[in-house]
Structure 1
Amino acid sequence: MTSSLVRGRPRHATAHIRVRVAHALVGAVAGAGWLAIPVLAAQDPATASPPPTTAAPAAPRDDESSAVDLILPVAVLGTAGVLAAYGYVRRGRRASGAVSATPTAPAPAESDRAARSALVRADDSVRASEEELPFVAALADERAVARFRHAIHTARAELSAAFTLWHRYEEGEPRDPGDRRQALAGIVGRCAEVGWVLDARAVELDRPRRAGVGPALEVAEEAFRRLAARAAGARAMASELRERYGPSVGARAAGGAEEAMDRLVFATSRLNEARRAADLADGESAVRQLRFAEGAVAQAGILVAGVDRTARRLRAASALVPAALTGAEAVLARARATGTPVPSGTDDTLAAVREELTAGPYDPLDALRRITRALVRLPGARSGVLDTAADLVARAAVGAAEDFVAVHRAGVGADPRSLLAAAVRTLATPHPVEAAVLARRALELAERDVRAHGVPAPDAARPLRTD
């Protein structure tokens, strides 16, 4: 049932109007009576004062009665004028800014901004919690860790639902303005649920650190040492990828390795600060610096793992390209034999990839992406080697976008995050070619956001709890 607040004026507003009208009428009558008292007193012989013994010359009788007759109408008119002026002033005040009895809905732009901000905060919280999990697992008991994993899983599900609603909203669904406001409210509500689910475990997870920061520092320092050795290997791997697959692939891998080293340098300073604060018995400062160090180590781990994962996928793609070309040619032959229209440029794409195989270093993942995208509309493109190639390309694209958003999330807005979430859903459908397109677009928008806002400091990407 629609609320009276939605339909219009609240039911109790009419009663308030009647009360105000009654007050005005009573005031008018009282004012008129008060002004008429002198007239009634002059006409009442019982209350009139006795005439003086020596009377002064009296005024003419007609003039006296005329003045008395005019007093009451003038009083009534004056009272009515005062009330009218008062009502006019009240109406002007209401029109100039008094709050209406019916609450006004927020403007669409304001609701849109609130939903975007809620999505970003919720996504940051989930990613920060996922980064924190390995450090928690080394400190807390297994039951607490299991509860934390469950909380992250629940929060991730709520966040995925919120991103699904946002993606539909961005595509124009629903169309009714009221339903669109409800959709935005649902997005904000689900994002709030993400925060509540994670915060419910926050105190329990922080207890080991606050009880004694020493063991937590040792865990973080050990993770730092292991990762430093892996980061040196990632730099060497980037050089190898450059020689084998060309400068563009090598540049991307080298960029990830260098960023990992930057994060580790930052983690070194934070760990030193945490150790110094612990020696001074400043527990709050030690925990704060420790969290910054953990975040930097976790992000460095994402970057190093990204270089390793890229190397594995490039090797797999390189072995798959010749078979994918053969499968693509078979699909084209069947399409032509059955009279199925072949997209324009398909033969040129296959010829270009075939030429790259013999021309020197090339990007095999990009070659597979072009092959699978050129044939996506043809029957048979989702079977055999081509389906395997499309899945490999999609996972590589989604992984690259995930890594970038995770490491640079302080500068990434809601749109690339939403596209990335859509790419993950589409990959699970499975529609790998479409998922790869969404992931590449998400990465482009995320890189644009970071260029617009600048590269964030490592500590800016990790929201801290204040409890």
Structure 2
Amino acid sequence: ACAIRRRYEEGVPEEAAALAGVVGRCEEAERRLTSAAESLRALRGLDRDPAAALASAETRFRELTARTAESDTALLADSVTGYVELAKDSLVTATVHLNQTHQATASGRPEEAAGHLRAAETAIARADVLVTAVARLRATLTEAARLIPPSLTGAEAELAPLRDGTAYEGETYAQLLHADAVLSAVRRATTSGQPYDPLGVLRRIVHATAPLATGRSGVLPVAALLVARESVAAADDYVTVHREAVGAAPRVLLAEARLTDDLPRADDLAREARDLAERDVRLRGHGS
């Protein structure tokens, strides 16, 4: 479905009918979910007795409050700037709805209590995504920093045969020159004594060597996986947190990023998805 939509947006005319079929299937899925809404509510039991769900939500709320208080985005990338503050805002929203759930339950208004409880659960889930993203990025940066030295060594192992056997012309030679320039810049950045972004540095190594890699180095695929995995996760987090404001285009790109086996391409697609999602949020507001 994602590939069909992408080709349609790129102007492939024969995809129009197929796209209509995709839309039809999505509409049918929405109708089925809507028809099952009452059954799902009954299964959760919120409308009848939200006590158990309320206790669970309050437990999660307390855990997230502690995690949020311990979170710190200092020295992290811009991708999580403001996340702790957004998490705190979500927990404030959750507090309001949890209190209203208690009040509605005590007054014998189970349907109203269920509505407030669902709103509280949504706010708690949003805070969880934000705080988890901060912790994950911190761990990823640590791992990226660890991988930079062996990745540089692995990159040299990949490029060494090409330096001896590549004619001084053509696309391969141009790619080799580019890779050498990137690796030199990376070495300068990592030995200058100045702060640098380990994930960004690792990304530069991965993308510069990807067109020339032959599998001689086992560490470069590991580095590529780390870079792509964080990009996809970061884009997914952003879309989840701002889901009401994010349109179809970022979601399509993100779905493609998840599906492709080409890790540098997955990284590119996910980063483009994040950029488009941020644009949507700027145009439409934050959503929730």
Pair in the same fold by TM > 0.5: yes
Q: 1:277 to 1:172 in 2, by over 3 A?
A: same
- The 2-side partners of 1:425 and 1:453 are apart by 28
State which of 53, 57, 62 in structure 2 corresponds to 1:225. 62
- The 2-side partners of 1:296 and 1:404 are apart by 15
Quick one: which amino acid aligns to residue 351 of structure 1?
A: S
**Does 2:269 match 1:448?**
no
- List structure 1 segments (4+ residues) > 6 angstroms apart after TM superposition: none
CA offsets per residue over residues 131-167 of structure 1, 9 Å max, x none?
A: xxxxxxxxxxxxxxxxxxxxxxxxxxxxxxx333212
2:256 matched to which residue of 1? 422
Q: 1:379 to 1:223 in 2, by over 3 A?
A: closer
Aligned residues between the structures: 279
- The 2-side partners of 1:407 and 1:197 are apart by 25
**Does 2:134 match 1:307?**
yes
**Does 2:120 match 1:331?**
no
Does structure 1 retain, via aligned residues, the 8 Å contact 2:224–2:263?
yes
State which of 161, 176, 182 in structure 2 corresponds to 1:349. 182
1:214 matched to which residue of 2? 51
1:44 matched to which residue of 2? none
Does structure 2 retain, via aligned residues, the 8 Å contact 1:209–1:287?
yes
1:186 matched to which residue of 2? 21
Q: 1:187 Cα shift?
A: 1.5
- Give SS of 1:209's match: coil
Q: Percent identity?
A: 45
- The 2-side partners of 1:254 and 1:436 are apart by 20
Does structure 2 retain, via aligned residues, the 8 Å contact 1:372–1:386?
yes
- The 2-side partners of 1:316 and 1:412 are apart by 30
Q: 1:196 Cα shift?
A: 4.1
2:7 matched to which residue of 1? 168
Q: 1:195 to 1:230 in 2, by over 3 A?
A: same
Does structure 1 retain, via aligned residues, the 8 Å contact 2:155–2:217?
no
Does structure 2 retain, via aligned residues, the 8 Å contact 1:167–1:422?
no
1:389 matched to which residue of 2? 223
Does structure 2 retain, via aligned residues, the 8 Å contact 1:213–1:286?
yes
Question: Cα RMSD between the aligned structures?
Answer: 1.9
Q: Which has the higher contact order (CA 8 A, sep 6+)?
A: 2
CA offsets per residue over residues 188-230 of structure 1, 9 Å max, x none?
A: 1221233245346432331111111222222211111111111
The higher radius of gyration belongs to 1
- The 1-side partners of 2:277 and 2:240 are apart by 10
2:102 matched to which residue of 1? 275
Does structure 2 retain, via aligned residues, the 8 Å contact 1:223–1:297?
yes
State which of 413, 416, 420 in structure 1 corresponds to 2:247. 413
1:402 matched to which residue of 2? 236
CA offsets per residue over residues 387-445 of structure 1, 9 Å max, x none?
A: 1111110001000000000000111111111111111111xxx2100110000000000
Quick one: which amino acid aligns to residue 5 of structure 2?
A: W
- The 2-side partners of 1:401 and 1:329 are apart by 31
Q: 1:277 Cα shift?
A: 1.6
- After TM superposition, the structure 1 stretch with the greater mean CA deviation from structure 2, 339-348 or 183-192, is 339-348
Q: 1:370 Cα shift?
A: 0.7
CA offsets per residue over residues 354-375 of structure 1, 9 Å max, x none?
A: 1121223211111111111112
CA offsets per residue over residues 247-282 of structure 1, 9 Å max, x none?
A: xx2554452222111111111111112221222222
Q: 1:382 to 1:293 in 2, by over 3 A?
A: farther
CA offsets per residue over residues 272-309 of structure 1, 9 Å max, x none?
A: 12221222222222111111111110111111111111
**Does 2:276 match 1:437?**
no
- The 1-side partners of 2:161 and 2:83 are apart by 43
- Give SS of 1:172's match: coil
TM-score by length of 1: 0.57
- The 2-side partners of 1:439 and 1:211 are apart by 42
- The 2-side partners of 1:193 and 1:163 are apart by 17
